[in-house]
Amino acid sequence: HLITNSKGPESIYSTGQFSYWKDGRNMPDVMSGVLQYPDSKEHAAFQMTLQVNFISGTGGQEIIQLVGSEGVITVKGNDITIRHSLLPEAPGLGGYDSLFTFSKAMQENLQKEYDAKWTTEQRKRKTKADIIFKAPAGYDDHLDHFTNFFDAIRTGKPVVEDAEFGFRAAAPALACNESYFQKKIVHWDPVQMKLKSGSRA
C-alpha cells in the first residue's frame, strides 16, 4: 500500500493446504491469496497475489514484484531492480495464435491486411536499459524504521504507517484467513474500511 498509495482491495480470496506441519494446527503452512484492487484516484485497477510457504526450500525469503505492461519492478531486501520488456506497438500475427488453422488463402488475406496496417517499425520491440539500485554498504532499514518510530514518540513527528495505514494493511491479510475458513470471496470496502454486506467476520 505504501508503494501504490492504495486504500486497499475490494475482494479477497485465498486457499491453502497443510503440506508439512500436520500437528493439529488450524492455519495451513502453504497459502495463496488473490486480492482485487479497484480503479481509484490513487491508482488504476490491479490484482495482487500473495503467497506464503512456511516450509519453503529456498530457506526463506521475502520478495515483492510489481508486474506491468512494460516490465517488472522487483524489491528484494534493500535492492530494487527494474527490468523492461516493452511490447511492440503492433500486435503479433502468427507463430503462436490460431492463424495457422485458417485456409492458406485466408492466412494470406489476413497477412496482407496486417502488413497494410502496421509498419515494420511498429512491429519492433523497443528496448530500455534495466535499472538496478543497491542500498549503500552498511545501510540498515531496521535502523531507519526504529529511528522514525522513536522520533515520532520523542518529537511528535508524523509516522508514515499510522494506525489507519496499519489497519488498511492488516484487514485484507486477515480477510485472507477468513476467506480460507469460509471457502468464499470476502468483499471489503477499502474507503470505509469495513466488510460489505454479505461478508461475515
Domain membership of residue 70 (yes or no) is no
pLDDT for the residue numbered 199: 66
Domain membership of residue 169 (yes or no) is yes
User: Mapping DSSP to helix (H, G, I), strand (E, B) and coil, where does residue 96 land?
Assistant: coil
The backbone torsions φ and ψ at residue 35, rounded to the nearest 5 degrees and listed phi first, read: -120, 125
Q: What is the mean pLDDT of the chain?
A: 91
Query: Residue 116 is part of which domain span?
Result: 89-122
Q: How many Å apart are CA 159 and CA 151, to the nearest integer?
A: 9
Name the domain count of the chain: 2
**Pair 146, 114 in one domain:** no
Q: How much is the average pLDDT of 168-181?
A: 95
Tell me the pLDDT tens digit for each residue of 23-65.
888 889 999 999 999 999 999 999 999 998 888 777 777 889 9
DSSP state of 105: H
Tell me the pLDDT tens digit for each residue of 82-137.
999 999 999 988 877 788 899 999 999 999 999 999 999 999 999 999 999 999 99
Give yes or no for residue 201 having a pLDDT over 60.
Answer: no
DSSP characters for 108-164? HHHHHHHHHHS-TGGGSPP----EEEEPPTT--HHHHHHHHHHHHHHH-PPPSS-HH
